[in-house]
Structure 1
Amino acid sequence: MAELSRDLDELNLKPDACTYNILIRSAKSIDCALNLFDEMLERGIEPSIVTFGTLISALCNNSKLDEAFKLKEEMPRLYNIEPNAFVYAALIKALCKSGKLEEALSLRREISGLDSAVYSTLIRALFTDERV
């Protein structure tokens, strides 16, 4: 990734949010993904909902729920971007996986326009918890 970044600089090509979203998604570690996010911001590139969805999903997959929720809270406040169903689905799935079903059910109330991914995640967790 560092080599790609140098190549872009040498060719005088400026990466955009889409470029960084691809790099973040392909990062081998959450630390690398977060460093790319920081680099993106340093270059003055505005993150998108895809950027946040990718980062929050990666944080959740790495059991970093506190950081994921912090980023979710920062999205509207710092970047004027509201979390979408993908962000909520990642958070709810991680809460369910961590055995925090009540928190997942509570988080569901924040979402306007639930989609099937969120419902499927909650239904699966309820069945797992034998709360049919």
Structure 2
Amino acid sequence: MSRVPTFSSPLLVGFETIEKSLERIAKSADGYPPYNIERLVKDGNEVLRITLAVAGFSIDDLDISTEDSQLVIRGRQTEDEEPREFLHRGIAARQFQKAFVLADGMRVLGAELKNGLLAVDLDRPQPEKLVKKIAIAQRD
């Protein structure tokens, strides 16, 4: 059975990169670390907040960047200098990379680490409505 591409309509011009981004994100759909996405209203503006559970990670262990219209959050814990002997190790100490595809115009407002939760706030300013008249040339 062949798969019909999501953006195969001839009326959707220039959306090929979005489909590739969606496929890349679907392949990397790891559940670690768990996260929430919520809609908030701050100072009368709508804000999206992505919250990741990053217990055990310090600010120095975390990196947040935007790359090719993606928000990329990485975590890498450093090993302790002195060796530790665990009788039971149930807390994962592994690195992660979580990527979120951002729509055009999305801005990262800031990030905060509090009580083992990393919150990243984003907004999308309302663009001005642009109407541009296109001249039609007549050729005989």
The TM-score bracket by the shorter chain reads under 0.3
Which of structures 1 and 2 has the bigger CA Rg? 2
Q: Higher helix proportion, which one?
A: 1
| TM-score where L is the length of structure 1 | 0.22
Name which structure has the greater RCO, CA cutoff 8 Å, separation 6+: 2
| TM-score where L is the length of structure 2 | 0.22
